[in-house]
Structure 1
Amino acid sequence: MSGSLHAHPHASFLHTVAKPSRYLGGEYNQIVKDPGSVRASLCLAFPDLYDIGMSHLGTKILYKLINDDPELCAERAFAPWPDMEAALRERGLGILSLENWRPLADFDAVGFSLQYELNYSNVLTLLDLSQIPLRSADRADADPVILAGGPVATQPEPMAPFIDAFLIGDAEEQLPVVLHAIADARQDGVSRDELMLRLARIEGLYVPSLYDTAIDPRSDFEVVTGPRVEGIPKRPRRLIVEDLNRFPFPDDSPVAAAHAVFDRLSVEIARGCTEGCRFCQAGMIYRPVRERDPRQIIDTVLSAVEKNGFDEAGLTTLSTADYSCISPLISELTKELQKRKVSLSVASLRAYGLPESTLDEMSSYRAQGLTFAPEAGTQRMRDVVNKNVTEEDITTTARRVFERGWKRMKLYFMIGLPTEEDEDVRGIMKLGRRMKDIGGAYHGRSAGITVAVSSHVPKPHTPFQWVAMDSMQEIERKQDLLQDLARQWRLEFRRHDPRTSYLEGILGRGDRRV
């Protein structure tokens, strides 16, 4: 579609909502196919705002992958801002895809990427607005198949009543297979029950409606006891793309028409993490570590910069510093991007152990994104969570960073970790104060330290999955303790809402009854 406000089916009221460009489509590099010319159509429905979803790397990868198949098409939709949701409900209308302005109910499948437990309600909002029955059991043969994947889909039970099929793990290899299976079933005219059975036989798919559950007397959880039909796996296997280079990162993704939260080119350089932090779900579920070829990364970054006009390029993975040739990669990219007047940011980069030459290159050319994640304020707690960094590593690297011109540093910590005591909590701000003292020695009062503290939420598939979470009152007490120290030592302090963390914990470890 043209992306014109006046041509849009919702044109009569789009001008009354904030950022109507969120709903228009028509972005540069958008792919528009005739739905009638393909075997199956998928709407990639991201359960959050356009501003957030347009920065999501998984959506970019799957959008390109599906549209590269001439027999398939992928379009996009995002959760609306409350003003748009109210306007749609007032008029009895639903969310439309960005490419062809189609209702989600018209697609063969709708796929949700579940990145965060608190997005679950947005999944239900999008289904409800689209007049698709919320519960899988209530859907008819003509309704689209509702798929879900992403990191929190590795604990699918809270959303099991609403999702037809979960794709567990890396989706690149099997998602096209799933869509062709849906097309075959439509062509064969089979019932929805038969379609679900066919999907359940595809490796990596979990179809909750085909599995029995029972209350476990020891834990009082509703647990999956096994398949209720023959021919499907007792426990679906997590999918792993062993060679990421078979699926090159796209260099021509749609460019956001409205401001995106990460308004830059981002390229995945690896998947998985070697660190083994005991609280980190991503570090567990994305194993093993797989790296993209550095030459492919460089070619993708430079090609994407040329095609899309970004003035900042970013490298991203769970632990960028552990990429096996990160220093030469940064060195070559910095030189090439400098020629193009494009800056480089490096996400999740632990500066500990980086060569002097790499820090010199990054500091000489607008490099962004150096952060520290000690996670705990004392060495005892860092040992408990298996965070492989010492205070000497942190302070030494801080000196190396500040002496090269950086004036601000951000430190990430957690409270509520197992065995934590008040002295460990105080240690967070004590470490922040040490960093400020080091920065002040180089830059005086212009040196700034931000201490960002989240609350530990025990996650499935981690060594801490069964530990108790701090109560909201205890989280608030610890936050107040940190706030007092931050004021005393003039540190910028950022915290999470404990109610949000508590709800995340309930949804993250809940069963089908939540």
Structure 2
Amino acid sequence: MRKLALNDEILLKIDKAARYIGGEVNSVMKDKDKVDLRFCMAFPDVYEIGMSNLGMAILYDSFNKREDIWCERLFSPWTDLDKLMREQNIPLFALESQDPVKDFDMLGITLGYEMCYTNVLQLLDLSGIPLKAEERGEDFPVVIGGGACSYNPEPLAPFFDLFYIGEGEISYNALFDAYIENKKAGGSKEDFLKKAAQVPGIYVPSFYEVAYKEDGTIASFMPNRPEAPEKVEKQLIVDMKKDYNVLESPVVPFIKATQDRVTLEIQRGCIRGCRFCQAGMIYRPTRERDVETLKKAARTMLKNTGHEEISLSSLSSSDYTQLKELVTFLIDEFREKAVNISLPSLRIDAFALDVMSKVQDVKKSSLTFAPEAGSQRLRDVINKGLTEEDILHGAGEAFEGGWNRVKLYFMLGLPTETEEDMKGIAHLAEKIAERYYEIPKDKRNGKVQINVSTSFFVPKPFTPFQWAPMYREEEFIEKAKIVKNEIRSQLNQKSIRYNWHEPDVTVLEGFLARGDRRSADVILKAYEKGALYDAWSESFHYEIWKEAFAETGMDIEFYTLRERNTDEILPWDFIDAGVTKEFLIREWNQAKNETVTPNCRQRCSGCGARKYEGGVCFEGKN
């Protein structure tokens, strides 16, 4: 029987002790003496968030299918346990075995969003692992980074031995084989890293040298070992039927997770090409999963978990060509079992409304639109592919179907934005309210409620807007005030509620998203000064970060306010993410010209993803 790493006295003191005890339904237990490699898979946020991460669930299942590997889970301890572990010198431990993390062969950390970077250092620190890779000897785990943020790994480069670029199902087996072979041969960590650098998709930061110009931009970025390639190519599944790891028995959390349901990933990638969206670029080309496989997986996962809700996961579910067949099946199959069906990322059309009326309580639910910009001009700039007519038509159909609540999501600070664009947010909300009151009074479902939310734009790597400037904190606040005042001047202002994202978090996110290796000094200093859980508003303290910038001599505005030239070497240029730089430059110019680029099913835009020889690029050509 396992012994818990935390005694009863500690478990009774902390919030949600079930986060730390493991032993959940479908968690994997193995004999650690009968495996060749122990892998600790970490998510740098609390249990409830990490347990909702589909990528982590898929890889956990995939790795554990190998008899010679035991993959265990790890999440960031909340601040109450963090404090106790430091006071009592308790080393951080994995959930399944409750063994210290530093006893593992590999520590893989999922990097899903920039604001978790100080939590990455927390995981290393509490594990007793030196924060910088160069300070780790042979006795410490190999530290690996992966996930969306690994497409610009440079701000974290000094803390990691290597990064995996792309979808984990492809090259991890080769990486594991190289490690096991090196271990059995008595090779050193350096020997393994040389082998790892030759595995497709693997980036070893210590094998590259960066030089800077006097103006602070990058002069050169080159490998310093013959084993390291000049370009690291992202890895992705092309054949979703043959190579996709079908998840059948996901771990069932002891406590309610953020996404407490069965998740069916119906496709990867997106055909839309929104110019601000990193996911829409780095996960190209769009690849659909087989509908019959999805039907079988839905039955199996519900049976193996006991969950009472199933959600379809995709960047744009409406673009899945078999959506109607799949949703009809789910409704018919699980109606009598009272299984709820969640359909995020849908465009609001007649089919979507018909489906939602069958799976939701119309009186309780609200509809979500993401126009992103207040004017058609700016929607064309960002290539949103959504017209005001589309929005008003969808809202009208919804109102006539009984809905009376709408959520609208916008961004402020987009490239070329004008005051008229900002005021357009209020005007669009007003038009939607007016559309509701066109319905005869006796057919309305009470008063209309429109919730308008604005976030502030952050330029991300591998998007056409990666060269764009941002704004200062006070400028973002001024933009929000313009929207707020314009909403107050509308006839239906009482029906419109407005809230906006914190601008200080946005500015910091912008720095971390496009930072280079020098950014690591700021992250380390902020962590040493107490920064932790920066993604949580109650834990985020911008003053700490301001002090860190001052003490390291780093100029945040160099990274946030400056528009880049398209010939500048960017920190992530050594990665081949599938979309070419030529395509991104072309789209950047299209944005400035307010020109719309058709989606992938309308016309190929020559982004570079055809080289993978699969997915939407080859639909109907087999």
Instruction: Give the TM-score range, shorter chain.
Output: over 0.9
Counterpart residue type for residue 452 of structure 1: S
1:59 to 56, 61, 72: 56
Identify the residue that residue 317 of structure 1 maps to in structure 2. 314
Identify the residue that residue 447 of structure 1 maps to in structure 2. 448
Shift of 1:185: 1.6
Q: Deviations over 1:68-113 (max 9, x none)?
A: 1111111001011111110111111122111110111111000011
Identify the residue that residue 201 of structure 1 maps to in structure 2. 198
1:360 aligns with 2:351: no
Identify the residue that residue 153 of structure 1 maps to in structure 2. 150
Q: Where do 1:263-412 residues align within 5 Å?
A: 263-351=260-348, 354=349, 356-366=350-360, 370-412=367-409
For 1:504 and 1:258, the matched residues in 2 are separated by 30
Q: Secondary structure at the match of 1:339?
A: coil
Q: Deviations over 1:365-419 (max 9, x none)?
A: 3277842111101000000001101000000011122222333221111000011
Q: Where do 1:241-256 residues align within 5 Å?
A: 241-245=237-241, 246-256=243-253
With over 3 angstroms needed to count, the CA separation of the structure-2 counterparts of 1:400 and 1:167, relative to structure 1, is same
With over 3 angstroms needed to count, the CA separation of the structure-2 counterparts of 1:301 and 1:437, relative to structure 1, is farther
For 1:227 and 1:100, the matched residues in 2 are separated by 39
CA contact (8 A) 1:334 1:362 kept: no
Shift of 1:217: 4.6
For 2:463 and 2:4, the matched residues in 1 are separated by 50
CA contact (8 A) 1:439 1:448 kept: no
With over 3 angstroms needed to count, the CA separation of the structure-2 counterparts of 1:89 and 1:284, relative to structure 1, is same
Deviates more, 1:358-367 or 1:296-305: 358-367
Identify the residue that residue 227 of structure 2 maps to in structure 1. 231
Q: Deviations over 1:197-246 (max 9, x none)?
A: 1111111100000011100456x234652111113211111111112222
Shift of 1:437: 3.1
Segments of structure 1 that go 5 or more residues without pairing to the other structure are none
The number of residue pairs the alignment matches comes to: 507
1:492 to 482, 488, 497: 497
Counterpart residue type for residue 84 of structure 1: L
For 2:4 and 2:158, the matched residues in 1 are separated by 37
1:479 aligns with 2:476: no
Identify the residue that residue 431 of structure 1 maps to in structure 2. 428
Deviates more, 1:23-32 or 1:397-406: 397-406
Shift of 1:129: 0.4
CA contact (8 A) 1:114 1:153 kept: yes
CA contact (8 A) 2:4 2:21 kept: no
1:418 aligns with 2:415: yes
CA contact (8 A) 1:346 1:370 kept: no
Counterpart residue type for residue 24 of structure 2: E
Q: Secondary structure at the match of 2:428?
A: helix
Q: Secondary structure at the match of 1:140?
A: coil
CA contact (8 A) 1:313 1:343 kept: yes
Identify the residue that residue 213 of structure 1 maps to in structure 2. 210
Identify the residue that residue 88 of structure 1 maps to in structure 2. 85
CA contact (8 A) 2:169 2:245 kept: no
For 2:303 and 2:434, the matched residues in 1 are separated by 42
Identify the residue that residue 76 of structure 2 maps to in structure 1. 79
For 1:437 and 1:249, the matched residues in 2 are separated by 47
Identify the residue that residue 551 of structure 2 maps to in structure 1. none
With over 3 angstroms needed to count, the CA separation of the structure-2 counterparts of 1:407 and 1:299, relative to structure 1, is farther
Counterpart residue type for residue 497 of structure 2: E
Deviates more, 1:430-439 or 1:316-325: 430-439
Shift of 1:10: 3.6
Q: Secondary structure at the match of 1:194?
A: helix
Shift of 1:7: 4.5
For 1:153 and 1:420, the matched residues in 2 are separated by 29
With over 3 angstroms needed to count, the CA separation of the structure-2 counterparts of 1:156 and 1:305, relative to structure 1, is same
For 2:355 and 2:197, the matched residues in 1 are separated by 51
With over 3 angstroms needed to count, the CA separation of the structure-2 counterparts of 1:104 and 1:443, relative to structure 1, is farther
For 1:369 and 1:71, the matched residues in 2 are separated by 48
CA contact (8 A) 1:347 1:369 kept: no
For 2:87 and 2:446, the matched residues in 1 are separated by 53
For 1:390 and 1:181, the matched residues in 2 are separated by 52
1:504 aligns with 2:509: yes
Identify the residue that residue 31 of structure 1 maps to in structure 2. 28
Q: Secondary structure at the match of 1:429?
A: helix
Identify the residue that residue 465 of structure 1 maps to in structure 2. 466
Shift of 1:302: 2.0
Shift of 1:192: 1.5
CA contact (8 A) 1:171 1:239 kept: yes
CA contact (8 A) 1:327 1:358 kept: no
Shift of 1:301: 1.4
Identify the residue that residue 618 of structure 2 maps to in structure 1. none
Q: Secondary structure at the match of 1:22?
A: helix
For 1:284 and 1:297, the matched residues in 2 are separated by 25
For 1:298 and 1:448, the matched residues in 2 are separated by 36
Q: Deviations over 1:435-491 (max 9, x none)?
A: 233345453544322212110001111111111101111101111222334455132
Shift of 1:249: 3.3
Larger relative contact order (Cα-Cα within 8 Å, sequence gap ≥ 6)? 2
Counterpart residue type for residue 225 of structure 2: V
Deviates more, 1:501-510 or 1:180-189: 180-189
Q: Deviations over 1:259-286 (max 9, x none)?
A: 2112222111111011101111111111
CA contact (8 A) 1:281 1:459 kept: yes
Q: Secondary structure at the match of 1:42?
A: strand
For 2:339 and 2:219, the matched residues in 1 are separated by 51
For 2:469 and 2:518, the matched residues in 1 are separated by 20
Deviates more, 1:291-300 or 1:477-486: 477-486
For 1:329 and 1:128, the matched residues in 2 are separated by 46
Identify the residue that residue 612 of structure 2 maps to in structure 1. none
Segments of structure 2 that go 5 or more residues without pairing to the other structure are 520-622
Aligned residues: CA RMSD: 1.8
For 1:315 and 1:102, the matched residues in 2 are separated by 35
CA contact (8 A) 1:211 1:224 kept: no
Q: Secondary structure at the match of 2:41?
A: strand
TM-score normalised to structure 2 length = 0.79
For 1:7 and 1:504, the matched residues in 2 are separated by 37
Counterpart residue type for residue 192 of structure 1: K
Counterpart residue type for residue 506 of structure 2: S
